């Protein structure tokens, strides 16, 4: 749950520019969070060098890959249905091979490969560089699997292709894995222990994106605040590092500053933050540099200390409030969004009221809210009974969503009458006559196109709004343009 899942992107087919010399066709679908979509770019880059061009036409594919997510049951059911469809097509294209990538790979490898025989290949999130070997295995008629989790793989040396991009915004992965062991989450088991990318490789990627015309990047990780580079290796082994390694280590606030300085006109965002790891250094760095956006995704999961403890969240309600107070004090116009789980095992009405009261205190700009779904392999699944009835989960979730909608309206209205910088990302979904983009606080704004173009930084006067979208008029270019 430590990751944003955009429902509108689920199952997106990814395409890149063809290489003339390539003769094979790759069809790749992605499910889950931003990390998975970023990983699909890495996979496409690796396979482009192996003779594969991408296609959106399933019936001409030689290799079909599904990049999977284990965070919610719905995603697994969707992927399973897609695999059944691919196998139906395979009857007419027997040479077509099907593979599962990502978070479902390790947990379901035996079912997919041996019991149900619905895939030819299973590849975990740390094994993408092994794809050429695995493809050779299946071409020779053998099933192939590599789900070994790495202590050092960060794909820092793979320049990801940008798939289905608007050419304006891009994700840059900075960490892989997670050490937090929240009881509801499968990520530590599917993506392994935490390790960070070499900061220079991150700067190089950001510089390359700027040279290609990108104007905004999001530094991406399961828990970006936990970023720590000391020469390579797992974060948990930092205590064994030499004195020199410790003295020259780079933490997240330092990385953020380096990226901000490397490209002063490029907008910088980051996701996801964890309350237990976020330091005041990060907030001060955000305040120091104008090109770091005033927006933090800060999942809390519950407002109840008892439930937070059961989730193994290493922060209390009071510590979370202190962090929120510090953010508001240092960056008064910072937007904050949340992840929230309702109906976690043993949750009472009192716990639920604690969540609502926490939301009233913070008044989030927006959020990602879910009813608890038991995930196989997690500590909660092994040790706790999923004892909150579905109808109670649904009712509590609807109350959380209703309150969030109210707060979202209030937060959006705060921008009215202001002139704010917006980066144009594309045409509005509702009107060909309007552009859409986001302000620093990540709120979507739409305004008449006039003579501006995608990728421009423009100043927009905010005249009206819906609950989540600002409606305005451009009054000129920003000084960033």
For residue 458, what are the domain limits? 418-477
Q: Do 21 and 39 sit in the same domain of this protein?
A: yes
Is the same domain home to 270 and 327?
Answer: yes
Say if CB 292 and CB 286 are below 8 A apart.
yes
Backbone angles phi, psi at 221, to 5 degrees: -170, 165
Domain identity same for 25 and 12? yes
Grouping H, G, I as helix, E, B as strand and the rest as coil, residue 461 is: strand
Do 423 and 292 share a structural domain? no
Q: Give the domain CATH number at 38.
A: 3.40.50.12160
Domain boundary among 362, 378, 413: 413
Query: What SS3 state is found at 30?
Result: strand
Residue 319 and residue 198 share a domain: yes
- pTM, entire model: 0.74
Q: Are residues 181 and 274 in the same domain?
A: yes
Q: What is the residue-level pLDDT of the chain in tens, covering all 481 positions?
A: 334 455 555 655 655 566 667 789 999 988 877 777 888 888 888 898 889 988 888 889 999 999 887 656 666 778 888 888 888 888 888 889 998 888 777 777 777 777 677 888 888 888 888 888 888 888 877 777 876 666 666 665 555 555 556 789 988 889 988 888 899 987 777 777 898 999 999 999 999 999 999 999 999 888 899 999 999 888 999 999 999 999 999 999 999 999 999 999 999 999 989 999 999 999 999 999 999 999 999 999 999 999 999 999 999 999 999 999 999 999 999 999 999 999 999 999 999 999 999 999 999 999 999 999 888 788 999 999 999 999 999 999 999 999 999 999 999 999 999 999 999 999 998 899 999 999 999 999 999 999 999 999 999 999 999 989 999 999 999 998 8
Cite the annotated binding site by residue number.
Answer: 33, 69, 103, 178, 182, 185
Partners of residue 144 on adjacent β-strands: 121
Could you tell me if 460 and 390 lie in one domain? Answer: no
Q: Is residue 58 one of the residues assigned to a domain?
A: yes
Number of domains, the chain:
3
Q: Are 243 and 276 members of one domain? A: yes
Q: What is the DSSP code string of 285-329?
A: HHHH-TTB-SEEE---B-S-HHHHHHTT-S--HHHHHHHHHHHHH
Whether residue 22 lies inside any domain: the answer is yes
Return the CATH number at 295.
Answer: 3.80.30.20
Tell me whether residue 154 is in a domain: no
CATH number of the domain to which 449 belongs? 2.40.50.140
Instruction: Provide DSSP, 364-392.
Output: -SEEEEEE----TTSHHHHH----S-HHH
Task: Point out the annotated binding site for [4Fe-4S] cluster.
Answer: 33, 69, 103, 178, 182, 185
Length of the chain, please? Answer: 481
Note whether 202 and 282 are same-domain residues: yes
The answer to whether residue 195 sits within a structural domain is yes
- Domain endpoint, select from 87, 112, 146: 146
> Could you tell me if 163 and 16 are in contact, meaning their C-beta atoms sit under 8 angstroms apart?
yes
Task: Please check whether residues 338 and 439 belong to one and the same domain.
Answer: no
């Amino acid at each position: 749950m430590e990751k944003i899942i955009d429902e509108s992107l689920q199952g997106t087919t990814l395409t890149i520019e063809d290489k003339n010399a390539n003769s094979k066709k790759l069809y790749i679908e992605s499910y889950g969070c931003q990390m998975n979509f970023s990983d699909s770019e890495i996979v496409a880059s690796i396979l482009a060098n192996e003779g594969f061009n991408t296609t959106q036409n399933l019936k001409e594919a030689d290799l079909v890959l599904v990049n999977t997510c284990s965070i919610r049951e719905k995603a697994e059911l969707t992927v399973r249905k897609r695999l059944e469809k691919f196998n139906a097509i395979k009857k007419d294209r027997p040479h077509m091979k099907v593979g599962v990538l990502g978070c479902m790979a390790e947990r379901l490898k035996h079912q997919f490969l041996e019991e149900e025989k619905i895939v030819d290949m299973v590849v975990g999130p740390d094994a993408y560089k092994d794809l050429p070997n695995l493809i050779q295995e299946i071409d020779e008629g053998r099933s192939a699997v590599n789900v070994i989790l790495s202590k050092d793989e960060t794909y820092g040396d793979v320049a990801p292709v940008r798939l289905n991009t608007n050419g304006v915004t891009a994700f840059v992965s900075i960490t892989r894995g997670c050490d937090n062991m929240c009881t509801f989450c499968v990520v530590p088991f599917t993506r392994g222990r935490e390790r960070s990318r070499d900061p220079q490789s991150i700067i190089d990627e950001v510089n390359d994106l700027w040279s290609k015309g990108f104007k905004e990047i999001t530094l991406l990780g399961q828990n970006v605040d936990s970023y720590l580079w000391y020469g390579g290796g797992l974060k948990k082994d930092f205590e064994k590092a030499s004195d020199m390694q410790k003295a020259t280590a780079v933490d997240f606030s330092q990385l953020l500053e380096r990226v901000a300085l490397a490209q002063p006109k490029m907008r910088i965002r980051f996701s996801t933050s964890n309350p237990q790891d976020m330091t005041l250094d990060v907030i001060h760095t955000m305040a120091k540099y104008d090109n770091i956006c005033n927006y933090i995704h800060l999942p809390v999961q519950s407002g109840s200390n008892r439930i937070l403890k059961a989730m193994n969240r290493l922060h209390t309600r009071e510590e979370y409030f202190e962090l929120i107070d510090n953010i508001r004090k240092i960056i008064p116009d910072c937007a904050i969004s949340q992840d929230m789980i309702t109906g976690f095992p043993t949750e009472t009405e009192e716990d639920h009221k604690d969540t609502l009261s926490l939301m009233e205190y913070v008044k989030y700009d927006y959020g990602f809210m879910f009813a608890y779904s038991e995930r196989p392999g997690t500590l909660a699944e092994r040790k706790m009974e999923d004892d909150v009835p579905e109808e109670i989960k649904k009712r509590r979730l609807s109350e959380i969503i209703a309150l969030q909608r109210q707060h979202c309206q209030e937060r959006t209205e705060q921008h009215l009458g202001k002139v704010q910088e917006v980066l144009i990302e594309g045409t509005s979904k509702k009107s060909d006559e309007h552009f859409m983009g986001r302000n620093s606080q990540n709120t979507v704004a739409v305004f008449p196109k006039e003579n501006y173009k995608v990728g421009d930084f423009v100043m927009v006067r905010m005249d009206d709004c819906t609950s989540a979208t600002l409606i305005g008029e451009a009054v000129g270019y920003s000084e960033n343009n």
